[in-house]
Amino acid sequence: MQTILGAGGPIADELVRELHRHYTHDIRLVSRHPSAVNETDELVSADLTDAEATLRAVAGSDVVYLTVGLPMDSQLWEEKFPAMMHNTIAAVKEHGAKLVFFDNTYMYAGTPTPQTEDTEFEPNGRKGTVRAQLATMLLDEMAAGTVDALIGRAPEFYGPGKTKSWTNALVFDRIRAGKRPFVPVSATTRRSLIWTPDASRALALLGNSPDAFGTTWHLPIDRNRLTYREMIDVASKVTGRRIGYTVLPRAVFAAGARFVPALREAHELLPRYRGDNLFDASKFARRFPDFQVTPYRQGIENILALS
């Protein structure tokens, strides 16, 4: 049995499909209101902040994937995420399951220094502090040998369907709608973005590779990092129309943050758009040289296919 805690998001849904295609049909989906992706999926309703419910959800599992997400709300993250991680660790210990934790890069400083699996945690705000706390909780258990786990860490998303990110919302969704895209902070710094189906395929591969456990993995990206200006140029070629763009400087976000809660919550992420964002996934590439990463042009073509 392979179990997804936090089913229903774009990463989890594609993870379920990948597991079903290549690894197992014995899959359990866990969330407050789970819905099947494949006909054979087992559905379990559970609140992961409830320790007993989490124990029941994990029972009988061989591999557990923790992919749960929450709205961009610092207080909610501080209240919910540590409890979810604590309960998940306790559950996999109790039932002898392996754990795959899907993580992000909010705990990194957001400087142009290349980010590797050994990069120190230097969060810029409350949400980054929570993510550092979660990763540290699990790393401490891994170091103590009390859980058999791995961390799969991803940079900012871009992708099809329900993918949520600044890049999708400000750039590609607006292009699809025939609107002028907005570029956060700078159009000339190199971006490290992960195609969401690639992230899910990589998680499934790691979770079914016994030697991958016991460490952190940066999930695979197209190493030909593009700037937003270059991405929009690709979009112009794909759509056959000239696309202009507007750069939103940090001052605009700062001003808006006083009135718009969503901008206030996102403010701590701005440093990563000021300079190059160099997420290094070479460790994964060395271990899994046959993994096919989606190139930016192909990803952009797929996003804009219906525009």
Is residue 168 within 8 A of residue 191, CB to CB? The reply is no
For the segment 215-232, the average pLDDT, to the nearest whole number, is 97
pLDDT per residue as tens digits for the range 44-85: 999 999 999 999 999 999 999 999 998 889 999 999 999 999
pLDDT per residue as tens digits for the range 16-37: 999 999 999 999 999 999 999 9
pLDDT of residue 307: 47
pLDDT of residue 259: 65
Considering only CA atoms, which of 105, 97, 101, 102 is closest in space to residue 124?
Answer: 105
Is residue 287 within 8 A of residue 216, CB to CB? The reply is no
Contacts (Cβ under 8 Å, ≥6 apart) of 244: 180
Query: pLDDT above 70 covers what percent of the chain?
Result: 98
pLDDT per residue as tens digits for the range 241-288: 999 999 988 887 777 667 667 777 777 888 889 999 999 999 999 999
Considering only CA atoms, which of 172, 189, 279 is closest in space to residue 227?
Answer: 189
Q: Taking all residues of the chain, what is their mean pLDDT, rounded to a whole number?
A: 94
In order of 4, 89, 123, 262, 268, the CA distances from 97 in angstroms are 12, 10, 30, 37, 35
Residues 261-299 as b or e (16 or more Cβ within 10 Å = b) = eebbbbebbbbbbeebbbbbbebbeeeeeeeebbebbeb
pLDDT of residue 166: 87
